[in-house]
Copies of this chain bind each other. A is one copy, B any other.
Amino acid sequence: MIKKNKFKIGLIQISLSKDPDKNLKKAVDWITKAAKKGAQVICLPELFRSQYFCQSENIDYFNLAETIPGPSTEAISKVAKQNKVVVVVPVFEKRALGIYHNSLAVIDTKGKISGIYRKMHIPDDPSYYEKFYFTPGDLGYKSFDTEYGNIGTLICWDQWYPEAARLTTLQGAAVLFYPTAIGWHPHEKKEHGKAQFESWQIIQRSHAIANGVYVAAVNRIGLEKENSKTAGIEFWGSSFVADPQGVIIAQASADKEEIIIAEVDLNRIEYIRRNWPFLRDRRIESYQDISKRFLK
């Protein structure tokens, strides 16, 4: 194991077509590009094999699912091994007959699957009908001690839950990856778009601050319409990396395909945690009611 104090992460922000095979080929190409740019741990957007099918409830879309291991992890294992990179690979996972998860696999530099994470918090809002498709995760919160460093993995809606960020950090993660598919309802963008985007960025920067950890959010771009009659979702891109003080150190555009690279520096984590030692002062004996739904 080559453990270093610093490693480079690469966030792949792309648009995705209706053709899963093209999307997989595109992902492989962009992983190669990211590796050439120096990225050592690379993350793809949530459910990158397809367009965001949760815009309606349609049992045919379960056909998009695949097993782990399966075609996505096999193709990406090859490119990971070739380039000696770690890759966070979101997968619409078919686990068993009629049991599906919104998952990710972490693939190591030898092309092996280090483990998987299954999205714990499942949304259900107009055009984000995920509760129809995804069984809630049952593996708890996960970090992976990769060749380059310890990485935590969460998925999209998890990002609104401070509990998830905390529980992943406490496993030793130096960076929390959030592969994501979030965008605007076109009819809402003008009135609510700015506040929605800011909330999304702030909540994730807050996880960096509260935990003294890097945060990397990886979103797709593009307008995806199920058909010509639907308004679709305009994915807002804007993938970013926040440092352990919540400062944004890398930021993608809202509408361009791009790779952003950032350095995760364990010395910076140590420095921030020494200066603002929030983890030191947690009152762990007072938190048990976090496991309650409501207290009235």
Q: Which residues of A pack against B, CB within 8 Å?
A: 120-125, 136, 140-141, 157, 160-163, 166-167, 170-172, 195, 198-199, 202-203, 205-207, 209-210, 245-247, 275-279, 281-296
A206 adjacent to B162 (CB under 8 Å): yes
Number of copies: 2
Q: Which listed residue (B122, B203, B275, B295) contacts A170, Cβ 8 A?
A: B295
On chain B, the residues within 8 Å of A205 by CB distance are: 202, 206
In the docked arrangement, what's the CA distance between A287 and B141, Å? 9
B294 adjacent to A170 (CB under 8 Å): yes
On chain B, the residues within 8 Å of A141 by CB distance are: 286
On chain B, the residues within 8 Å of A160 by CB distance are: 209-210, 276, 278
Listed residue (A157, A283, A285) with the most chain B CB atoms within 10 angstroms of its CB: A283
- Chain B, Cβ-Cβ closest to A283: B120
4 A-B pairs besides A170-B292, A202-B209, A203-B206 with CB distance below 8 A are: A121-B282, A124-B281, A172-B296, A290-B291
A285 adjacent to B296 (CB under 8 Å): no
In the docked arrangement, what's the CA distance between A161 and B282, Å? 8
- Chain B, Cβ-Cβ closest to A162: B162
Listed residue (A202, A278, A289) with the most chain B CB atoms within 10 angstroms of its CB: A202
In the docked arrangement, what's the CA distance between A163 and B165, Å? 12
A161 adjacent to B278 (CB under 8 Å): yes
On chain B, the residues within 8 Å of A282 by CB distance are: 121, 161, 163, 293
Q: Which listed residue (B157, B277, B281) contacts A281, Cβ 8 A?
A: B157
In the docked arrangement, what's the CA distance between A162 and B210, Å? 7
On chain B, the residues within 8 Å of A199 by CB distance are: 209, 245-246, 276
On chain B, the residues within 8 Å of A295 by CB distance are: 167, 170-172
A166 adjacent to B162 (CB under 8 Å): yes
A287 adjacent to B246 (CB under 8 Å): no
On chain B, the residues within 8 Å of A246 by CB distance are: 195, 198-199, 202-203
Subset of 30 A-B contacts with CB under 8 Å: A122-B281, A125-B275, A125-B276, A157-B281, A160-B209, A160-B278, A161-B278, A161-B282, A162-B162, A162-B210, A163-B283, A163-B286, A167-B287, A167-B289, A170-B289, A170-B294, A171-B295, A199-B209, A202-B205, A202-B206, A203-B206, A203-B209, A206-B210, A282-B293, A284-B291, A284-B292, A285-B291, A287-B290, A287-B291, A288-B291
- Chain B, Cβ-Cβ closest to A194: B247
In the docked arrangement, what's the CA distance between A207 and B172, Å? 24
A203 adjacent to B198 (CB under 8 Å): no
On chain B, the residues within 8 Å of A162 by CB distance are: 162-163, 166, 206, 210
On chain B, the residues within 8 Å of A293 by CB distance are: 282, 284
In the docked arrangement, what's the CA distance between A205 and B207, Å? 12
B136 adjacent to A195 (CB under 8 Å): no
